[in-house]
Structure 1
Amino acid sequence: MEFECHGEVLHGDLYLPKQRPASGKLPGVVVTGAWTSVKEQMSGLYASELALRGFAALAFDFRGWGHSAHEGKTKYLEDPLRKTDDIRAAIDFMGRCPDVDPDRISGLALSESAGYMSAATGGNRHVHSLALVAPYLHNPEMVSEVYGGVEGVSALLKLGRDALTHEQPRYIVAASKVDETALMFNTEYYTEEDRGLIPEFDNKFNLASWETWLTFDGVSTAEKQNQPTLIVHSEAAALPMGAKEFARHMGDRATTLWFEGVTQYDFYDKAQPVDRALDAVAEHFLSTL
């Protein structure tokens, strides 16, 4: 599947159930994954499993990533605003898709893309339900805590600003077991060939990402989020305080489901937590669409 955002072509995979309703139209879900990821990783897994549960589910590569990376264009940029625009374009594509009921479209985001999905769907009249699984949502206070306080954040911001002014793009390895300069050093899933380290994974990170990533307040997107929202998380996963703060902002518009002892990367591909999360997400969508 192909669709456009700001004149660039994005590539996606649309997963459909084998059995169709009598009307022929299906509830649609736009699915997004963790930072630096591609559609063949966790977003594709969740989309394919949602199709087994009766949904038309789209996983796609953001501009500059995977099959949506084009020569001469910006690549491997973890820019929340840019990715938010891509999600809006994906939602518009789903609304035009002949397999999808345009009045039954929802969004599902994992990990870092949760804030992007929330920003793209808040106030969007084409989206009627939202689910966030293992959402990584931060605000300025959390950024400071995670990235080494004022000094650590300032150093990364300088690195990002220097990269923006550099004549050539400056990339580092996204994940590695041996390269200590990698964005995610010795991190599971991304460095394991039987999990996230697949041929389609770009495994690169544009240093110019730091400014937009560190200054993006994913928690505050809850203030404009008017869709009924399910949040699935675990205290053992990444930044649970962000999910709690997001839910607090949403009040009774949000439902939270907490798993015990499930890590961030377990949510990406481990059968039991993935199935449990998907069952809850499917039930949430069917009850709110």
Structure 2
Amino acid sequence: MPERKKLESNLDKVEVRQVEFECHGEKLHGDLYLPKKRPPFGKLPGVVVTGAWTSVKEQMSGLYASELAMRGFVALAFDFRGWGLSAHDGKTKYLEDPARKTDDIRAAIDFMGRCPDVDPDRICGLGICASAGYMSAATGGNRHVHSLALVAPWLHNSEIVSEVYGGAEGVSELLKVGRDALTHEEPRYIVAASKVDDTALMFDVEYYTEEDRGLIPEFDNKFNLASWEAWLTFDGVHTAEKQNQPTLIVHSEAAAIPKGAREFARRMGDRATTLWFEDVTQFDFYDKAQPIDRALEAVAEHFLSTM
């Protein structure tokens, strides 16, 4: 079932509230998903959910948040500063900056701690794809978070960056593009995903270029070229060094850079549990019912057993 239809089918079981909170004086917009059937008294465990790079809350993070609400959690999906609805209130837009997004996640965690329906002593983090590294950075050592899960995590270091982006020469060229954009008087944006524009960040890439999947009206479909330096120099693997939360990693050898997930898990040692699926692609984890249901069954069990 396509992502949007599955989200709509959950509405009879899930309550969705539009919420707002701030990070560094800028307003962030989110959707808070709650189970409609919940105890009249008492609070529920909360989960902050974040998605892939360039994504908005109506894509994979909203789907996972909705599914978590059906499993008894209060789950928050939100638009990072400069993206989706949150782009309306800030000057910097479409910037894939790990440090900036990490701060947004910390603000989201603080918001969940104040949410009247959420037990502040049972808050968890779920990062999907690129935001896995941001989520790890935001939750490591954070006394307000008690469990972490990473699904299809894109976790790179300098070695993996070189392998993915064309070696030292390719990385150098992208860094130059990013630095030039940073000094340019006006922001420089390109299309994030396209089937026809070969200058797009993701040319002819599935999910993002399909209207019944990721190419939805809410998707900004833009990328700020000033992102390159922050993105390429971010070491998501290294965030494992400070990650003290019990962590579940769900991935597949058929998905993106499994090498990074394995190294992340190795560095965490017995603090991490890994679950590997067979023949599940990166994009399958975004909106395909079977891998998502299997992943969330494991994620929910992990959260409930480690909070």
TM over 0.5: yes
Q: CA deviation at 1:208?
A: 0.1
What is aligned with 1:96? 114
SS in 2 for 1:16: strand
Look up the SS of the partner of 1:264 in the other structure: coil
Query: Equivalent residue for 2:21?
Result: 3
- The answer as to 2:159 corresponding to 1:141 is yes
Alignment-derived partner of residue 250 in structure 2: 232
Equivalent of 1:130 in 137, 148, 155: 148
2:26 touches 2:90 (CA, 8 Å); kept in 1? no
| Counterpart position of 1:181 | 199
CA distance in 2, matches of 1:136, 1:189: 16
Runs of 4+ in 1 over 2 A off after TM superposition: 21-24
Q: Distance in 2 between matches of 1:123 and 1:68?
A: 27
Q: Which residue of 2 aligns with 1:196?
A: 214
* Residue aligning to 2:287: 269
Look up the equivalent residue of 2:125 and give its one-letter code: G
Q: What is the CA distance between 1:27 and its match in structure 2?
A: 0.1
**How big is the shift at 1:72?**
5.8
Note if contact 2:26-2:89 (Cα within 8 Å) is conserved in structure 1: no
Cα 1:122–1:91 shift into 2, 3 Å: same
- 1:247 equivalent to 2:265? Answer yes
Match of 1:260 in 2: 278
Look up the equivalent residue of 1:252 and give its one-letter code: D
Give the deviation of 1:21 after TM superposition. Answer: 3.2
The Cα of 1:18 is off from its aligned counterpart by 1.5
> Identity across aligned pairs (percent)?
88
Equivalent positions of 1:1-289 (< 5 A) are 1-21=19-39, 23-70=41-88, 73-289=91-307
How far does the alpha carbon of each residue in 1:239-264 deviate from its partner, in whole angstroms, 9 at most, with x for none? 00000000000000000000000000
For normalisation by structure 2, the TM-score amounts to: 0.93
Q: Matches of 2:31 and 2:48 in 1, distance apart?
A: 10
Matched residues in 1 for 2:109 and 2:287: separation? 25
What residue ranges of structure 1 are gaps of 5+ in the alignment?
none
How far apart in 2 are the matches of 1:128 and 1:154?
39
Task: Report if the CA contact (8 A) 2:27-2:89 is conserved.
Answer: no
What is the rounded CA distance, in whole Å, between the counterparts of 2:90 and 2:131 in structure 1?
A: 25
Specify every segment of 5 or more residues in structure 2 that has no aligned partner in the other structure, as ranges. Answer: 1-18
Which amino acid in 2 is paired with 1:231? I
2:201 and 2:41 mapped to 1: Cα distance? Answer: 47
Deviation at 1:111, TM superposition (A): 0.1
Give the AA of the match of 2:228.
Answer: W
**In structure 1, how many angstroms separate the alpha carbons of the residues matched to 2:304 and 2:183?**
48
Count of residue pairs the alignment pairs up: 289
Structure 1 residue 23: Cα displacement: 3.6
Shift of 1:19: 1.9
Secondary structure, in 3 states, of the residue corresponding to 1:70? helix
1:98-150 Cα shifts (integer Å, max 9, x gaps): 00000000000100000000000000000000000000000001101110000
- 1:148 maps to a residue whose letter is G
Contact persistence 2:82–2:90 (CA under 8 A): no
